[in-house]
Structure 1
Amino acid sequence: MTADSPTPRPATIAVTAGRPPHEPDQPLNTPIVMAATYVAGGDLEYGRYGNPTWTALEDTLGALEGGRCLTFSSGLAAVSTVLDLVGQGGTVVAPAHSYTGTLLQLADLESRGRIQVRLVDITDTAAVAAACDDAALVWFESPTNPALEIADIEAIATAAHEAGAYVVVDNTFATPLLQQPLSLGADIVVHSATKYIAGHSDVQMGAIMTADDALYGVLKGRRDLLGAIPGTFEAWLTLRGVRTLHLRVERAQANAADLAGRLAEHPAISQVRYPGFGAIVSVVLADGAAAADLFCHRTELWIHATSLGGVESTLERRRRWKAEPSTIPEGLVRLSVGIEDVEDLWTDLEAALQHVTSRGSSTPALD
């Protein structure tokens, strides 16, 4: 597109960004560049510093989020790189309900005296603002994992900046198609690109985006030094996944909204948590952990597995993980809704719930 062309919409960016130039005999897709060493005298020099396949992916993700992107070997590698910005003894404000890996990293850093952590109810904006006093970094998700709570990103960002803190938003659940935190005041956006961005449950990848050139330089320097770089083939697969991101999110979100409504009317379900957008639905089984375990093991189309954001539908009881916060109900099951036909998804869920109802709460938990 020319300089005079209108800014393309996200669905168009997902398809067109990071492509080779439109010239005769150029491939439509960026090739996989398998190189650890480059001829001296250019910008790359060595494989840990950059790769043309990474660049194509990073250009695309940066354009979708409205900033510059760095990709990493995993979502947790991206998380640890951002947390490394906090100085010795600095304070990090974070949600009590959050991605388990993030909470474990925070707990590990605090146990070693590296940082101090203040856990908050991210839906209580006033309490979050008060917790920002003397904080170095405010980290949150919206929606949260797996409670699906929504934060006021703009208000929290304003309060954090007034207190002198950086703001980081994990945008994995919403994706850049549904929410762009940089435009709402966030300094850094983090993604587990393993999830919706790659979208096919076959890649591990993390990503960081920022519109601050100085922050980008610092984060790039940390990646260069620590070496948490993505594989070239993984970067190529992730970029291929991005090309259909808008279609996958559109279909999965429509399925999720439909299923959330049906699940809310089922007698085996005591609570449905769905924020009104995205493709994650959390339900609480009325008869607790045993019923939730049975439910997860009785589906046939839905796959009992951790992780989320793939084309296939998966589900799991979150409290089966010892590190899950005790404030998450024992009977909560997180559903990652895929792109299958919604009637087939519902038929499978309904049959599993019928088994739960017929067996009752005395059913022992399954391993």
Structure 2
Amino acid sequence: MNDWSPRTRAVAAGRPSGPGEPLNTPIVATSTYVAGGGFTYARESGTPTWVALEDAVGALEGGHATAFASGIGAIAAAFELFPIGAEVAVPTFSYSGTRGLLQHAEKQGRFKVRQLDPEDTPAWQAAADEVDVLWIESPTNPTLHLIDIAPLTGRRAKVVVDNTFATPLAQQPLALGADIVVHSATKLIGGHSDLLLGITIAADETLAQELRDARTRNGATPGALEAWLALRGLRTMPVRLAEQSKTAALLAERLSAHEAVTRVSYPGQGMMIAFELADAPAAERFIAGLELIVHATSLGGVESLVERRGMYALETHVPPGLIRFSVGLEDPEDLWRDLARALGQPSS
């Protein structure tokens, strides 16, 4: 398997093998097992459905995976690994759920939090030798800034990378020296906006066991159906992401040329675009004018979604006219016509 491409691993990893085995891992809907086998009680030992998903994601990321009930559950479990009083550096522009957890932990005296501009490379390099944990998003949510991971690893700080936007198809942080990777599998891994699930992947088996222990203690266990849906979504992620990325690159180029758009951030690959309009009212008018693209939170599904992230209490520092755009699988020209109409100019 080590010499298979990521696309092949996404299809084949975690699949049953042997004569008479099902081709695909079934939904194992049970909470408990007959004593004497490898599984005992689902909260503690998992289920074959979880294990298949963990094996597949672990094969893609190159580490030991643990599935959780949600992305924020996975993030919270990773935070549990660090001691009281630890200093955590996090990008100023990053997932609001992560920063909300850190704010709460800081109020309780559990962590010290250092917020860093994602574009301030010297500050990140200094923090790598000063703090206990670097919490990295690259690209960042929702601004799509990039942070160079490799120069920050192998130093004083433990490095945790939220790889939800990039996916292991574009970036494998463990290979760059990171200690833990987290995903909201709700997003691109599931890919159909129909489940909640999170995953951690640890480079070290000891760290992986600590994450599994945190899952057991807190009961942050995924459902069998959700794990099965995420595994099914993973099988098609490479082809979905390839098509979404092609469309996103096209739309980012056209948005950059549009007179109503003041700034476009697109990291060169992936299905996420961030673009800015003049102000919050302009962004709200744009969203109200859309017919095909849906105004909704979340991202990574087959349908295109937009959202003005500055509307949320934890993201008031985000530029008020910034639109986070999750590009789906619709026809690119249909998407462009919808965007151009809502921007107040006929599409060409």
TM-score range, shorter chain: over 0.9
Task: Tell me whether 1:335 sits opposite 2:325 in the alignment.
Answer: yes
Provide the secondary structure at the position in 2 that maps to 1:262: helix
Task: Provide the C-alpha distance between the structure 1 equivalents of 2:166 and 2:140, rounded to a whole number of angstroms.
Answer: 10
TM-superposed deviation, 1:44: 2.0
Provide the secondary structure at the position in 1 that maps to 2:344: helix
Which residue number in structure 1 is paired with residue 216 of structure 2? 224
Which residue number in structure 2 is paired with residue 148 of structure 1? 144
Task: Provide the C-alpha distance between the structure 1 equivalents of 2:305 and 2:86, rounded to a whole number of angstroms.
Answer: 38
Task: Provide the C-alpha distance between the structure 1 equivalents of 2:128 and 2:17, rounded to a whole number of angstroms.
Answer: 46
Tell me which moved more, 347-356 or 274-283.
347-356
Say if 1:71 and 1:229, in contact at 8 Å, map to a contact too.
Answer: yes
Provide the secondary structure at the position in 2 that maps to 1:140: strand
- Decide which of 209, 220, 223 is 2:201's aligned counterpart: 209
Task: Provide the C-alpha distance between the structure 2 equivalents of 1:130 and 1:333, rounded to a whole number of angstroms.
Answer: 32
Task: Provide the C-alpha distance between the structure 2 equivalents of 1:271 and 1:293, rounded to a whole number of angstroms.
Answer: 17
Moved over 4 A (4+): none
Provide the secondary structure at the position in 2 that maps to 1:316: strand
Which residue number in structure 1 is paired with residue 29 of structure 2? 34
Letter in 1 for 2:78: V
Say if 2:89 and 2:134, in contact at 8 Å, map to a contact too.
Answer: yes
Letter in 1 for 2:262: S
Provide the secondary structure at the position in 2 that maps to 1:122: coil
TM-superposed deviation, 1:162: 2.1
Flag the 1:271–1:355 CA change in 2: closer, same or farther, 3 A.
same
Query: Deviations along 1:187-229, whole A, 9 cap, x unmatched?
Result: 0000000000000000000000012011111111111111100
Which residue number in structure 2 is paired with residue 162 of structure 1? 155
Task: Tell me whether 1:312 sits opposite 2:307 in the alignment.
Answer: no
Structure 1 residue runs of 5 or longer lacking an equivalent are 357-367
Query: Deviations along 1:224-280, whole A, 9 cap, x unmatched?
Result: 111100000000011010110001100000000000000001111011111111110
- Decide which of 281, 292, 303 is 2:283's aligned counterpart: 292
Letter in 1 for 2:322: L
Say if 2:272 and 2:324, in contact at 8 Å, map to a contact too.
Answer: yes
Which residue number in structure 2 is paired with residue 255 of structure 1? 247
Which residue number in structure 2 is paired with residue 80 of structure 1? 76
TM-superposed deviation, 1:123: 2.4
Task: Tell me whether 1:351 sits opposite 2:344 in the alignment.
Answer: no
TM-superposed deviation, 1:95: 0.6
Query: Deviations along 1:87-146, whole A, 9 cap, x unmatched?
Result: 111111111110010010000000111110001112222211212344221101000001
Query: Deviations along 1:297-342, whole A, 9 cap, x unmatched?
Result: 111110000100000000011111111041x210000100011110
TM-superposed deviation, 1:169: 0.3
Q: Compute the TM-score of the two structures, normalised by the length of structure 2.
A: 0.97
Show the 5 A alignment for 1:1-367: 7-23=3-19, 25-49=20-44, 50-157=46-153, 161-163=154-156, 165-286=157-278, 288-326=279-317, 328-354=318-344
Identity %: 52
Q: Compute the TM-score of the two structures, normalised by the length of structure 1.
A: 0.92
Provide the secondary structure at the position in 2 that maps to 1:323: helix
Say if 1:123 and 1:152, in contact at 8 Å, map to a contact too.
Answer: no
Letter in 2 for 1:329: P
Say if 1:125 and 1:156, in contact at 8 Å, map to a contact too.
Answer: no
Task: Provide the C-alpha distance between the structure 2 equivalents of 1:137 and 1:131, rounded to a whole number of angstroms.
Answer: 9
Say if 1:125 and 1:155, in contact at 8 Å, map to a contact too.
Answer: no
Say if 1:146 and 1:282, in contact at 8 Å, map to a contact too.
Answer: yes
Matched positions, count: 345
Tell me which moved more, 204-213 or 120-129.
120-129
Provide the secondary structure at the position in 2 that maps to 1:269: coil
Task: Provide the C-alpha distance between the structure 2 equivalents of 1:175 and 1:262, rounded to a whole number of angstroms.
Answer: 25
Task: Provide the C-alpha distance between the structure 2 equivalents of 1:259 and 1:95, rounded to a whole number of angstroms.
Answer: 27
TM-superposed deviation, 1:352: 0.5
Task: Provide the alpha-carbon RMSD of the alignment.
Answer: 1.3
Flag the 1:134–1:41 CA change in 2: closer, same or farther, 3 A.
farther
Task: Provide the C-alpha distance between the structure 2 equivalents of 1:26 and 1:130, rounded to a whole number of angstroms.
Answer: 52
Provide the secondary structure at the position in 1 that maps to 2:151: helix
Provide the secondary structure at the position in 1 that maps to 2:247: helix
TM-superposed deviation, 1:354: 1.2
Say if 1:44 and 1:51, in contact at 8 Å, map to a contact too.
Answer: yes
Task: Provide the C-alpha distance between the structure 2 equivalents of 1:110 and 1:11, rounded to a whole number of angstroms.
Answer: 41
